[in-house]
Amino acid sequence: MVHHKHFEISTLRDIYDQARKKELQELKDLETGYIKATLTEAVKCALCFQEDTRTIFEKQGFTFVQCVNCDFIYTNPRLTNTKILQDYTHSESNDIWIEILLTADQTKYNNQKYNFFLDEISRHISPPRQLLDIGCSIGQFMHLAEKRGYKCTGLEQNNKARKHAEDHYGLTVENTLVEDLDPRNTQYDIITMFGVLEHLPNPHDILHHCNQLLVKDGFLALLVPNNGSLVARMLHDKAFGVDGRNHLSYFTKRTLTMILENNGFTDINLTTRVSCIKPIGNYLNYQDPYFPNMDKMDDELVSIIPEVEKIIDQYDMGHHLYATARKK
């Protein structure tokens, strides 16, 4: 047997998971087991705006559906816009997520991720240029971008995250929604969204507005969980990222390309990273994928990991979907 130090534990995700489950339980109708009807609303597909769907699974009181017309997967019904905004402004689990972002292991991983994007951005648009980071959280990406010479503004709804970005890094962060920015008054060379689009109730409208906020040939960079990843295809509802309260949309390379093209973006480049091989191995070993009872993996499974990781890389089946695009 081979033993592993679990990233999920070192980054406090076990504590976050407990808080999230507690909050989800409070949203449920005890009689039906579903989320209270007063807190939800039925929605159309965010890609093609059709209503015909098939249910693919249910989890924690939420129903996850796939559009019959375009195959897009989303939560339906979902929480109302008011409830979504309320939870992002303040909730115990979302505040714990800020603590996750401040752990040493998560900071190291995010630095690698953000520097990858900054390398890509700088190949297309060199500093100093105006950059807007939507959902900037604690400001780690903006801090790295400013060190490279970009002039950054962030948008963040969570009070704890915004305070850290302002106090620790001295960044300019506004408690405002991107849709409230007026393109006639404000234009940016670069817009970034990392782990944001899947949370938004109106991804189509937000991307359209981002297009309007960008200058001619402006650059967009974003990251979303990849619902076409090997870990998502294997674990389905057991995947950590399947979260009906926080994750409303589930993108693949094809559906992310569609929504970008539909909102005036071109030169779309997609790649995936992060194999999530350990959760896959735990699952194949009859353990909880993320919080196994035994911190070990069978030697037989360990022996095939290098080959599986090659397949994940070759077929772009990593957990994180990275995208860059230009305004058409």
Residue 299 pLDDT? 82
What is the token pair recorded at 13? 């995700």
If pLDDT is split at 50, 70 and 90, which confidence band does 2 have?
very low
Alpha carbon distances (Å) from 96 to 18, 19, 93, 200: 10, 8, 5, 20
* pLDDT tens per residue, range 144-180: 999 999 999 999 999 999 999 999 999 999 999 999 9
Percent of the chain surpassing pLDDT 90: 88
* pLDDT tens per residue, range 179-236: 999 999 999 999 999 999 999 999 999 999 999 999 999 999 999 999 999 999 999 9
219 vs 266: CA distance, rounded Å: 10
Mean pLDDT of the region 26-30: 95
Residue 4 pLDDT? 44
Q: 296-321: b or e for each residue (b if 16 or more CB lie within 10 Å)? A: bbeeebeeebeebeeebeeebbbbbb
Domain ranges within the chain, ordered by starting residue = 7-327
Residue 3 has pLDDT above 70, yes or no: no
198 vs 225: CA distance, rounded Å: 8
Residue pair 142/133 in contact by the 8 Å Cβ criterion? yes
58 vs 241: CA distance, rounded Å: 14
Residue 6 pLDDT? 73
Residue 194: strand pairing partners = 223
Q: Is the dihedral of CA 252, 268, 116, 157 positive or negative?
A: negative
Residue 52 has pLDDT above 70, yes or no: yes
Burial category of 16 from C-beta neighbours within 10 Å (exposed 0-12, middle 13-18, buried 19 and up): buried
Residue 295 pLDDT? 65
Query: What's at 191, amino acid-wise?
Result: I
* pLDDT tens per residue, range 284-328: 989 999 988 766 777 888 888 899 999 999 999 999 999 999 999
53 vs 78: CA distance, rounded Å: 14
* pLDDT tens per residue, range 61-75: 999 999 999 999 999
263 vs 209: CA distance, rounded Å: 9
321 vs 269: CA distance, rounded Å: 10
Residue 85 has pLDDT above 90, yes or no: no
CATH 3.40.50.1950 given to domain 7-327: no
Residue pair 270/323 in contact by the 8 Å Cβ criterion? yes
Residue 87 pLDDT? 85
Mean pLDDT of the region 49-57: 98
**Alpha-helical segments (H) within 67-158:** 81-89, 92-102, 104-124, 140-147
130 vs 142: CA distance, rounded Å: 11
* pLDDT tens per residue, range 115-149: 999 999 999 999 999 999 999 999 999 999 999 99
Count other Cβ atoms within 10 Å, centred on residue 211. 19
305 vs 11: CA distance, rounded Å: 23
